[in-house]
Structure 1
Amino acid sequence: MACEYSLKLLVIGIVQGVGFRPFIYRAASRAGVRGYVRNLGGSEVEVLIQGNVENVHKFLHLLASEMPPPARIEEISGEETCIDHLSEFKILPSLTGMGRRSMIPPDIGICEDCLREVLEPGSRWHGYPFNSCAWCGPRFSMMYGVPYDRANTSMRDFPLCEDCKQEYSDPENIRRFHAQGISCPNCGPKVWLTDSKGLKIQTKNPIATASQLIDEGYIVGVKGLGGFHIAALATDEAVVAKLRDRKNRPSKPFALMALDIRIVEKIAYLDDVSRRLLTSPEKPIVLLKARDKHLASLVAPGLDVIGVMLPYTALHYLLLKSTKDKFLIMTSGNKRGKPMCIDEECAFRELSSFVDFFLLHNRRIVNRVDDSVVRLTEGSPVFLRRSRGYAPMWIRVPLVFKKPVIAFGADFQSAGAVAFEDKVVLTQYIGDLDDYDILTDLERYLEFFVKVYRINPSNALLVVDKHPRYTSRLAGVMWSRKYGAEVIDVQHHHAHAASVLADRGVEPGETRAVITIDGAGYGVDGAIWGGEVLEACYSSFRRIGHLTYQPMPGGDAAARNPVRMLIGVLSRFLSEDEVVNLLKKRNLIDKLKHGEREARVSYRIARKSVLTSSTGRVLDAASALLNVCYARTYEGEP
């Protein structure tokens, strides 16, 4: 038989876990072409189409114009070929160990169609907290590896029932045909309620009962999509005070979750940009100016902004829907300095002293994913934490890496990354690396990306921070010894500058003046930098200005205690007695644990202390002098 004209396409982007293959199947049927579509092992999709030129062009038009909402094509390449006549178009089983590199799908907030099914009394998903489809639901948080097939996710623990199988196999079912994460009350995960020790509470509706308990002032741990939350009333001062006491969290603001935009407008001011962010499929926490009423003052003490998100799973929506306020504190379920819990063992061990009850389910969380946090600056969104909904999508940069890069980040508010071609793939938010479990997370996710994107660590460039005591640096050095790979260190603020250059699309070799201000970064002169003006390109920099160096009495102790930092600044201008008298006049002596003695010792050691040009430390000193803040209990505290 003579071969027929065919076109083979390789599609790279967000094309797995978003209903892309079923979309290709329907487009092929409409266009009258034959062939196949299949996932490749690198998380990209291969398409073969066969037919006359007119039908092939029709297919390509449908491909370009009618993609499902979450899908995104980054690259597409094609080659003409000639193969034997095919009789139909098929979705073929996924391949492993083939293909190039494509995006790992991020978790997607519940879509309007799935939520409507949950709320409709006649729907077979009525009240079902795990409803999802090809366009929404968990992705990265439940993935063991690629390709994105049910067998490679924690949904493999839940075989499809006959009804779900029928929908999965029906090409006309746009949202569930070959959707890997679908389920229903008959075959999907289950939810239950326990006390703080794990003793099961007998109730027909665990979610509604949990809502009732929250309304009564109890604190409930909720197993969600990428980890545990702690849910509590945001309008009751006593409840919020109790939560702060239990979590040993005196000042750091709590995030809120509100049922819908209408409820958000009761507690915060919205503009068009923040409204779009809140309702986007990513559903981040958005920082908003708070209204004066409704909230307990301890939710965000001393601040006029609050962090708010909308429900991104049916479970969260149903929980909020049954509460009296329709909004709750929804803060990460973790001990201070520890990673967020993702399983019951961790929750019972680390959260039982915080909560009175647990709302649990039996879908395993494979990858820990915190909520993303965004603030608006002059009308544009800026990430404070890039995680759920966005990670691990890659970012294109205006340069091409000559060899793969594995970057270990810094030690605080950390994330790692891998880079190849013109792409950077950031991990989700990891946390502060002074805890072993968090360091283990960083290495685990870097290993996951190395495997998915087929990076040979031995041939990669390992990049670490220049700080000699950073745990992330030690991790990178250990990887270098393990794999025999080259490792380089990068000055902290040069890294900041390079990220700004990439964000602004600056070409390699071009130089810009960049201002980098933060809390701390190890300088090339051994001082702690943080208020820098750099002349920088991607490969080098020159320091052309900085804030005046100030002594930090006690080093890190001054970073935690703004009054100590104030003593360091004043020691350059005033005598010891003058500093002590000023502190007394400003009622600051009693803000030091050991009073006047500590003040005098801090003054005497100031001249021998480490020096810093940090903007954050200067602002700490100013905040103490102005009686705004005397102890820094969290990063960025006023």
Structure 2
Amino acid sequence: MSIKALRIRVTGIVQGVGFRPFVYRLATRLGLKGYVVNLGGSEVEIFVEGDENSLKFFVERISVEKPPNARIDKVFVEWIEPIGFKEFLIRESGSQQILRSVIPPDIGICSDCVREILDSGSRFYRYYWNSCVNCGPRFSMMFRTPYDRENTSMAVFRLCEKCEAEYRDPSNVRRFHAQGISCPVCGPKTFVFDSSGRRIDVDDIVSFVAKKILEGHIIAIKGVGGYHIACLASRDDVVLELRKRKRRPTQPFAVMARDYKVVEDIAVPFPEARELLESPQRPIVILPKKRDSKLSEYVSPGLSTVGVMLPYTGFQVLLLREIPDGFLIMTSGNVHGEPMCTNITCVFEKLRDVVDYVVEHEREIVHRVDDSVIRFSDGEPVFLRRARGYAPEWIELPFNVAESIAVGAELQTAGAVAFENKVVLTQYIGDVDEPAQLDDLRKELLWFAKIYGLKPSVVAADMHPNYHNKRIAVEFSKEFGAEYIEIQHHHAHIASAMAEHGVGEDENVVGIAIDGTGYGVDGGIWGGEVMIASYTNFKRTGSLQPFTLPGGDSAALYPVKPLISLFVLAGYSEEEVIKYLEKEGLIKSLPYGAKEAAITYRLAKSGRGAVVTSMGRTLDAFSALLNVCTLRTYEGEPPIKLEALADSGNYLDYYPKIKHFNGRLVVDVVDMLNWVLSNMDKRKSDLAATVLRSLGIGLGLIALESVKGLRNTKNFVVCSGGSAVNTHIIRGIKHALKSGEIGVKLPRKTPPGDGGIALGQIVIVSSKVSKHG
């Protein structure tokens, strides 16, 4: 028999998912010899020799039989000379980086591991941190690549005799060469402290914590990528106490449910929701609330939805089984405006006055990783936050990009690095106007640049003059000797959606970018924009009707201020505006009442303020007009509550007007304002639904007009930005474009909001460098 040999290199998610043990079993089953090894770029190399037919079958079966959590992007195969191996080996990993591959994300506990922790006859019985080759922490505990135990925070936990035997046993499908495994003998120990830092000795930590929660206490629990704060979600007094302690008056809390049946007790899941909830990624999924459930109204006050997730660690599984309701609040362990704690020192410094007890385990959290959040927008799942379970999987593009770094936006942001045709978004970082989040962004971007061996030639940042992360973009530019380029915010939003949906380097697309705030090239505050865009350039063809908004940051806190500005634009007198605000009780929502309203009116009337086309500020105004929300206590609250009201409404007979303004088309918001004022006798939910849909229709009509006569353009409009998740707005856009048989595409792999903007920054700067460099 003629012996031949292959060298195979595989990229994708092929480390930390049982890929090498799978290759070992496949090769030995086919009688092949050689080795498999992890390499430093998170790729896997296979050398295999044997008869030609077996080798060809081996290559075929790699993709067919791969482990459930593996993802194969590319398989590179070359015929080489055989060496004469006597057996097939799993070799010690190497640091050499030949190809780059995906760093494995964290994976929720699998059903086999759950079965073991519930089995009194198993040695893993009630072991909180049970995992195997198919599940458990990955990215959150990695110091470096390749993914091997010694490169993670599990390195300090030496395998006991039984775990070592299973690790070495090829017949043990779940634990053979599983890097993160442990048991009660050799794994991380778990402890309980009170809020003063005093350790409490208890026989069964889960039972102790469940008892305290049922008594109404609030508990910090260390998990995979940080700490959660857990408490009852069914008792109003407990939820209100948590709100008081966290200084979070109305922002919704996430809920963790024991299983899907409990989800159905508190929510009304969409058909696709179960697959998401039970997936290995275990995201928070935003679902409609179920009426008359045991869920406290204060979990998500003023909203028609609740964010729900299922347990993804053994500790959570065991805890939820001891809660009669089957669900708990499980929210981020942080104080308002600051990042989630990842170590016990932070907990005792920051959460001492928030929690009563702390559950601590010994495994170090290397990377802070929040829970991912997904909602459904007109039936499509879209990210609000991309983190645990998904980050740092890369996004593949239809073209190559420059080696580059993008620092993203200011709020709810993530950064990115890029190489070849790959963009690697960091996990959700948060609001980088806070020093801790800014440091996180810097640390994560440098980590990815080092891991992937990058020498960036360009660094991208938003053109807003006051964004805090511009500082680190300038630092990176100097450190790497890279060009520094600033990108317009909404161009980046549209470009991110273009890249995700396969728009080519030389193609144009019509895009709609809708959000709260983005710095425009004219110095105004944009946020309701229609553009014809390529990756290199854009032309603004339309927007919402602009208005002058005085007040700076306070104008975003008090929705009555943009309402006053709209009244000014509509030609109402100061006396009429003050009288109306007093009659509707809106004047009380301003800290200085009528005096502040009058000053706001006069400043807007004289043109002293920012010129605004923002969807966010426009929605703020209508939210105030309908008395839905008159104080913003969290990002996007007035529009979110307006959408919640609209969810129970019907569309009325109103169609928006489009007019010309300064060489572009604008949606006539004044006409919409006057229509609402003349129909205030109608149900507020109907008015809210109609306003949202009409704003979408207006932008859709402008997009339809913008498409006419364009060449080399896709037959769809991309829509992005934080407001692009609003179902009623998206329905309006689709309605307007339907007559032209033009589709609408939202980002699906990245958040439409600022968490996905770094992708757009990358493709834009790469295009600029390639065109002009």
TM-score range, shorter chain: over 0.9
TM-score, normalised to structure 2, is 0.81
TM-superposed CA distance for 1:7, in Å, is: 0.4
Give 1:568's aligned amino acid.
S
Cα separation, 2, equivalents of 1:229 and 1:195: 15
Partners of 2:458 and 2:477 within 8 A in 1: no
Counterpart position of 2:636: 636
Aligned equivalents of 2:55, 2:619: Cα separation in 1:
63
Question: Partner residue of 2:614?
Answer: 614
C-alpha deviation, 1:536, in angstroms:
0.6
The match for 1:14 is 13
CA distance in structure 2 between the partners assigned to 1:3 and 1:37 by the alignment: 22
Aligned residue for 1:345? 345
SS at match of 1:509: coil
Kept in 2: contact 1:4–1:82 (CA 8 A): no
Tell me if 1:302 matches 2:299: no
Deviations 1:359-418 (A, max 9, x none): 1111111100000000112332100101100000001122211x2121100001110001
CA change 1:415–1:446 in 2 (3 A) is same
Rounded Cα–Cα distance in structure 2 between residues aligned with 1:618 and 1:591:
18
Of residues 243-252 and 547-556 in structure 1, the stretch that sits farther from structure 2 once superposed is 547-556
Alpha carbons 1:4, 1:84 under 8 Å: kept: no
Structure 1 segment 81-96 matched on structure 2, within 5 A = 81-96=80-95
In 1, Cα distance between equivalents of 2:60 and 2:397: 29
1:504 to partner: Cα distance = 2.0
CA distance in 1, matches of 2:372, 2:593: 40
Question: Is the contact made by 1:430 and 1:438 (CA closer than 8 Å) also made in structure 2?
Answer: yes
**How far is 1:128 from its partner?**
0.3
Q: How does 1:435-450 map to 2 (within 5 A)?
A: 435-450=434-449
In 1, the alpha carbon distance for the partners of 2:592 and 2:413 equals 33
SS at match of 1:157: coil
Matches within 5 A, 1:192-591: 192-292=191-291, 293-401=293-401, 403-457=402-456, 460-572=457-569, 573-591=571-589
Q: Is the 8 A contact 1:207 1:359 kept in 2?
A: no
Residue 3 of structure 1 and its aligned partner are, at CA, apart by: 10
> Is residue 14–residue 102 contact of structure 1 (8 Å, CA) maintained in 2?
yes
**Is the CA contact (8 Å cut-off) linking 1:463 and 1:476 kept in structure 2?**
yes
Q: Secondary structure at the match of 1:471?
A: coil
Question: Match of 1:543, SS?
Answer: strand
Indicate if the aligned counterparts of 2:515 and 2:528 stay in contact, CA closer than 8 A.
yes
Rounded to whole Å, the distance in 2 between the matches of 1:551 and 1:271 is 41
CA drift at 1:599:
1.1
- Write the distance in 2 (CA, Å) between the matches of 1:4 and 1:60: 16
Equivalent position of 2:687 in the other structure: none
What letter corresponds to residue 586 of structure 2 in structure 1?
L
Query: Is 463-472 or 519-528 further displaced after alignment?
Result: 463-472
Using the alignment, how far apart are the partners of 1:380 and 1:548 within structure 2?
29
User: Deviation per CA, 1:100-124, whole angstroms, max 9, x where unpaired?
Assistant: 2100000000111010001011000
Name the structure 2 match of 1:105. 104
TM-score, normalised to structure 1, is 0.98
Give the Cα–Cα distance (whole angstroms) in 1 for the partners of residues 5 and 187 of structure 2.
40
Q: CA deviation at 1:57?
A: 2.1
**Residue 21 of structure 2 corresponds to residue 28 of structure 1:** no
Contact 2:270–2:287 (8 Å) recurs in 1: no
1:599 aligns to 2:587 (yes or no):
no
Structure 1 residue ranges, 4+ long, deviating more than 4 angstroms after superposition: none
SS at match of 1:335: coil
Give the C-alpha shift of residue 83 in structure 1. 3.2
Q: Is the 8 A contact 2:2 2:51 kept in 1?
A: no
Structure 1 residues 190, 19: closer, same or farther in 2, change over 3 A? Answer: same
User: What secondary structure does 2:577 align onto?
Assistant: helix
- Is the 1:246–1:354 contact (alpha carbons within 8 Å) kept by the matching residues of 2? yes
In 2: Cα distance, 1:548 partner to 1:296 partner = 40
Please list the CA deviations of residues 517-540 of structure 1 after superposition, one character each: whole Å capped at 9, or x if unmatched: 100100000000000000011111
RMSD: 1.2
Matching residue's letter, 2:532: E
CA distance in structure 2 between the aligned counterparts of 1:146 and 1:448, rounded to whole angstroms: 11
How far 1:62 sits from its partner (Å)?
A: 2.6
8 Å contact 1:192–1:206 — kept in the other structure?
A: yes
1:241 Cα deviation after fit: 0.5
Specify the SS of the correspondent of 1:272: coil
1:98 and 1:542 map into 2 onto residues whose CA distance is 42
1:424-468 Cα deviation digits (max 9, x unpaired)? 1110000001111100000111011101111013xx210110101
CA distance in structure 2 between the aligned counterparts of 1:587 and 1:483, rounded to whole angstroms? 56
Number of residue-to-residue matches in the alignment: 634
For residues 382 and 83 of structure 2, the distance between their equivalents in structure 1, rounded to whole angstroms, comes to 53
Relative contact order (alpha carbons < 8 A, sep ≥ 6): 1 or 2 greater?
2
Report if the CA contact (8 A) 1:259-1:317 is conserved. yes
Counterparts of 2:277 and 2:421 in 1: how far apart (Å)?
30
Deviation at 1:486, TM superposition (A): 0.2
Give identity over the alignment, percent: 52
C-alpha separation between the residues in 2 aligned to 1:618 and 1:60? 57
Deviation at 1:558, TM superposition (A): 0.4
Residue 605 of structure 1 deviates from its aligned partner by 2.0
- How many angstroms apart in 1 are the aligned matches of 2:116 and 2:141? 23
The DSSP-based 3-state class of the residue aligned with 1:462 is strand
Are the counterparts in 1 of residues 63 and 72 from structure 2 also a CA contact under 8 Å? no
8 A contact 2:42–2:146 mirrored in 1: yes
Structure 2 residue matching 1:171: 3-state secondary structure? coil
Q: Determine if contact 2:3/2:52 at 8 Å carries over to the other structure.
A: no
Question: What residue identity is the alignment partner of 1:522?
Answer: Y
**Cα offset, 1:470, TM superposition:** 0.6
Query: What is the identity, as a one-letter code, of the residue corresponding to 1:555?
Result: G
Cα offset, 1:596, TM superposition: 1.2
Q: Which amino acid aligns with 2:589?
A: K
Deviations 1:16-67 (A, max 9, x none): 0011111110001001100000011111010000101122123223312211
SS of the counterpart of 2:186? coil
Q: Which amino acid aligns with 1:603?
A: Y
Post-superposition Cα deviations, 1:342-375, rounded to whole Å, max 9, x if no partner, equal: 0000011001111111111111111000000001
Whether contact under 8 Å (1:215, 1:324) holds in the other structure is no
1:336 and 1:399 map into 2 onto residues whose CA distance is: 41
* Unaligned runs of at least 5 residues, structure 1: none
Query: Tell me, what secondary structure is at the counterpart of 1:114?
Result: helix
Measured after TM superposition, the shift of residue 484 of structure 1 is: 2.1
Structure-1 separation of matches of 2:83 and 2:194:
64
1:115-156 superposed Cα distances (whole Å, 9 cap, x missing partner)? 000101100000000000001000000000100000010101
SS in 1 for 2:155: helix
